[in-house]
């Protein structure tokens, strides 16, 4: 199944692809007659090029958080100022495309009726180079349901890497440790979802 497994900034796409995505998102917003406020547009890459999934008149989930971690820019404050008719400044493009890759990796369960192991199995995730914060809080009696998508995540790993190649290696290490966390002796393991494997398939774009 296609599920959201995290966010990467900047996205690992060529500059010309990023420009095409931006043009498509802007065209979609204009076609809807939106002239004021903030939008969250989701776009999927297809063999025929990028295609719109949906346009939302709101901030995207998790997007404001990763932008603020990356640039210091507060998208929530900007959205509120827009709603109040107050002027806003744009985020600094140089900080959006800096010298490191910022990521948020959602701890989404693999497909199947699995039950998470004890949280202690995840205690050392924060020791991996590049991991800044691990936010995990699965209830002891909680059973996973991969069909809940992002809502089924038991937490988030926050961090950064020197480049996308280093990020792939880091996500691989995280996924290997998560494979030990998800357990059910009667169900074959499918492996923890890997953020970087799906990031090439879709992209989120927020426009002020």
Q: Which alpha helices (H) appear in 52-163, and where do they start and end?
A: 63-71, 75-83, 93-96
Domain of 19, in residue numbers: 6-207
In a domain, 182, yes or no: yes
Q: Give dist(CA 119, CA 141) in Å, integer.
A: 12
CATH code of the domain containing 32: 3.30.470.20
Question: For residue 1, is it within any domain?
Answer: no
| Average pLDDT taken over every residue of the chain | 81
* Residue 156 lies inside a defined structural domain of this protein: yes
On whether residue 88 sits in a domain, the answer given is yes
Total domains, the chain: 1
Task: For residue 3, say if its preceding peptide bond is cis, omega within 30 degrees of 0.
Answer: no
Does the residue 143 lie in any domain?
Answer: yes
Instruction: Spell out, as residue ranges, where the chain has pLDDT lower than 50.
Output: 185, 187-190, 196-200, 202
Domain assignment of residue 125, yes or no: yes
Please check whether residue 188 lies inside any domain of the structure.
yes
Asked if the structure places residue 184 within a domain, the reply is: yes
Spatial contact of 109 and 116, defined as CB atoms under 8 Å apart: yes
Tens of pLDDT, residues 83-138: 999 999 888 877 777 789 999 998 887 776 666 666 677 778 889 999 999 988 76
């Amino acid at each position: 199944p296609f599920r959201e497994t995290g966010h990467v900034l900047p996205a690992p796409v060529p500059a010309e692809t990023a420009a095409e995505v931006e043009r498509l998102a802007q065209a979609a917003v204009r076609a809807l007659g939106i002239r004021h406020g903030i939008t969250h547009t989701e776009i999927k890459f297809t063999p025929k090029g990028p295609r719109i999934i949906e346009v939302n008149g709101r901030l995207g989930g998790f997007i404001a958080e990763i932008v603020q971690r990356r640039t210091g820019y507060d998208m929530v404050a900007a959205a509120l100022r827009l709603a109040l008719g107050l002027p806003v400044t744009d985020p600094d493009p140089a900080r959006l495309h800096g010298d490191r890759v910022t990521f948020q990796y959602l701890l989404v369960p693999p497909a199947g009726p699995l039950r998470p192991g004890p949280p202690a199995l995840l205690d050392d995730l924060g020791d991996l180079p590049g991991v800044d914060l691990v936010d995990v809080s699965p209830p002891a009696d909680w059973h996973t349901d991969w069909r809940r998508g992002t809502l089924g995540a038991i937490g988030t790993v926050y961090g950064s890497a020197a480049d996308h190649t280093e990020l792939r290696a880091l996500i691989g290490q995280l996924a290997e440790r998560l494979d030990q966390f998800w357990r059910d002796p009667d169900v074959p393991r499918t492996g923890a979802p890997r953020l970087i494997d799906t990031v090439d398939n879709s992209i989120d774009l927020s426009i002020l």
